[in-house]
Every structure is written in structure tokens, then in C-alpha cells.
Structure 1
Amino acid sequence: MPSGRKTRPESKAERQTAIASTALGIAEDTGQHQWVIHLKSFLAYLAAVQGDEERFRRLATDALSGTVPMQGALWVDWGQGMLDLGSGRVDAALTRLEALTQGPGWYHVSAMRCVPDLVEAAVRSGEPGRAHHAFARYERWARQPFTRALAERCRALLGSDADAEERYLAALEAGGPPFEHARTSLQYGEWLRRSRRRGPPPGICNSRWRPSSAWARGPGPTAPELSWKRPARRPRAPRPAGS
């Protein structure tokens, strides 16, 4: 008999994990070692997004033990940065993500896509200036709705308080994947709380900024501790130049 319990919708990360796991099996069966490394490192990143630190460590170790560790290092570095950011280790996240965007693999998709995470880590660490160079490159790349939404979120975080709300609302209006839309909603909500506001201005539909079903709890043991699963601590004030 049906239990009456609603089944949680499968997240995008879970769907990607299933597809990548199938691809990994094919690569292993056919001896395509380069793709084995790539897929294990990508699966490690997906484990990090879902808060499964144990699985991340296992896959990352396998990926980096290949004959060409650099092939797997970029996705692994982004995954470690996500784990650090999600667990509140913002200084560690900033250091790792900054190195990823400035290193020899700066052109890789992981180094470009991690820029919004770098911006958040920099702002939460009180050092927004450390994200400006990478974000300038990201802005030039952001020409489609998904990346435009993330670029607007970065502008809200890096710009003046007077322009922040306009940027957050532009990011929410642009749409994008549910997980990123929900993170933007959370950051906008944090900004509203710091501004002692109870909600968006009149005429703005609340559904544009409320977290969506993408906020389903991940399977990993660290998932409940992710910063986007709880009220995040207030970002530090920017540090004086030269300090």
C-alpha cells in the first residue's frame, strides 16, 4: 500500500551523478583512462555539491592518483572549495578558489564556473577585492541567461548597498538552474535581514526570491551543515587596504 509520503524530487546533481556514473563504467570497461580520471573528478565535485564529504574524498583521491593528476585536479579543487564554503570555512574556500581561477587551468570550465562561489567566499571573508579580477573575466563570458543571473548576483555582492537589491532582483528575474536560483534567494534574504526589511518592495512577487524545492537535503553527512542550509553568518566588513 502507498505510504502516503511524498517522494522528494530528484535534484539536478543526483541526475548528473547517475549519468556520470554510467559514463564512468563505460570508460573503465573500455580502458579509456583519461576519461576515467575526468569522470571521477567530476563525480567528486558532484559529491561536494551534495555535501557528501566522505564520497568526495574517496573519488578525489582516485582521480588525483592517475597518471596525469592535473586532469582531475580542477574539478576536485572546485569541489573542495564548495565543501569549504558550504561548511563555513570561507577563508579556505577563498584561497582555493582564487588559486583555481588564477592557475594554469584558468580557462577550464570549472575555473570559470566557480567564480560566483569565489565572489561569495571573498565577500564573506571581508576581502571582496580578491574576486574582482576573476569576475571581470567572468562578466565578459556571461552572455546567456544562466550566466547572466550569476553575474547579477556577483554584482549585488561586490557592488554598493544602494544597488544591491536591483541586482538581486535582476538575478532572480533572469532565472537559471533551481539550485543557483535558490542560493540567490538566500543571499537576497540575508541582505533584506541586514537591511531590517521583512520582504521585497511592493509589487515584487515573493515567489521570485523564496527558496525553491532545490533546497532538498543532500544525502551526505555534512549536508545539514552547509551554509546554504542555515542562516549564514554575516559577511565580514571589508578589510582595510594593505592589512
Structure 2
Amino acid sequence: MGDDNKKIFIEHAHGNQEESGLKESWDGSQEDFYKSIIRNQQDDMGKIGRYFRDELAQELYGMRISLQNFTNRYGDFEELRCLRDSLSTLVIEIRNKAVSLYNPILNDLGIFHAVDEVLSTYKKRSGFTIDTVLDPSLKELNHNSQVHLFKFLNAMFQYLSDEFPSQAISMSVQIIEFEVFVNVLPYFRGGEAAVSEKSEGSPMRLIKIAELYNARIINDTLSAGILLKLTT
């Protein structure tokens, strides 16, 4: 597997590196280097989310209010109603995107409240039920790790809602030796035969989710459930 503690050299694409001195060295391990990249990406997404929520959405909402005031004064027209409705829809979409990038409940109250909020939304929207058991030690994770886990769980909730042919899902999240284990068990409708075992590997969508969030699929069978290991 090679030596993870070797120096990683970062070369800038332009300029003479001997003259400009732009060749940098990372003295830590490759794992720490990649984690630093992820943390920087998460910080950037948080800034974008706050901009969407606090500035862009507010500006669009202000435009909608101004348009409403205009129509109240000069009369309403079909074109103006369409524009007003479009602005309302756009504000909602932007705020939803902002929450996925920067969840205020996650940042203010922690991962337990944030997960409860997401699950209540799924239940109201589709009636799909996911019961969760979260390890109390999750609150001891640093903020970046909580954000990473929350985004991973969001992706898993959507995957389970779309792909699992079950009546309900039980999900447990446990920390063992600084690694997070996520265990998913399906509950099928009464009298419904268990889904036959897959002869091949995990579904491509689940594999992509695991790759995106640095998780490893330990087990994936519809009848026995899914077990993933997520390095925080």
C-alpha cells in the first residue's frame, strides 16, 4: 500500500518553480492531507450555504415583496402573477439548497436535532419511516466530522427512500474505535416475501455514495440489511 507518511508535493501549474518558489510540501500523512481538503471543501460549502440563505434568498424575497406592492397599487396581471410565483418557488428552492450546504439546526443544536428534522420531513413528505438509534458519543465528534456524517446520512436517507422496497427502516449509528458504523435493517410489509438476494455486488448508487463520503460497504443484502463503515 506504500508509505502514507511520505511528503506530498504540490506543484502549481504556471510559472518557473525554481524562480517563484511555488512548490509546496505537505509533511503530514496522505490521509491527513485528504482530510484537510475535505475540511476546506466543507468550509467553502458552508460559506456558499450561508450566502444563499442570508443574502441571495433574502434579496429575491425582497423583489417578490416589491412586485406584490406594485401589483397592489397598479393592478395585477397574468405575467406579473407568473413572475411572482416563480420568485416564490425560487426562494424556496434556494433555501432548501442552503440548508443542505449549511444546516442551521446542525450548527446550532447538533447532529441529533438535525437528523430528527430531516426524518420528520421525509415522513411528512412520503410517509416513509426511518427509525434511528444514534450513539450518544456522536455529540463528541468535532464539528467537521458531524457535518460529514450528517451529509452522509442525508444521502443514505434519500437512497433508502427511493430504492428500498420496504415498509420501514431501522438505522443505528455507532462509534467504535473512532470509526462510525451505520447499520440499516429493512422491515417488509406483512406477508410480503423477502426480496431475493442479489447475485452481484452492491448497487451502483450505493457504491457512489460510499465513495463520495469515504465509507466502506461491509455488507449489503436486502434481507439482512446494509452495514457501512465511515471514517470520521
State the TM-score, normalized to the length of structure 2.
0.30
Higher RCO, 1 vs 2 (CA within 8 Å, ≥6 residues apart): 1
Higher strand share: 2
TM-score (norm 1): 0.29
Larger Rg: 2
Larger helix fraction of residues = 1
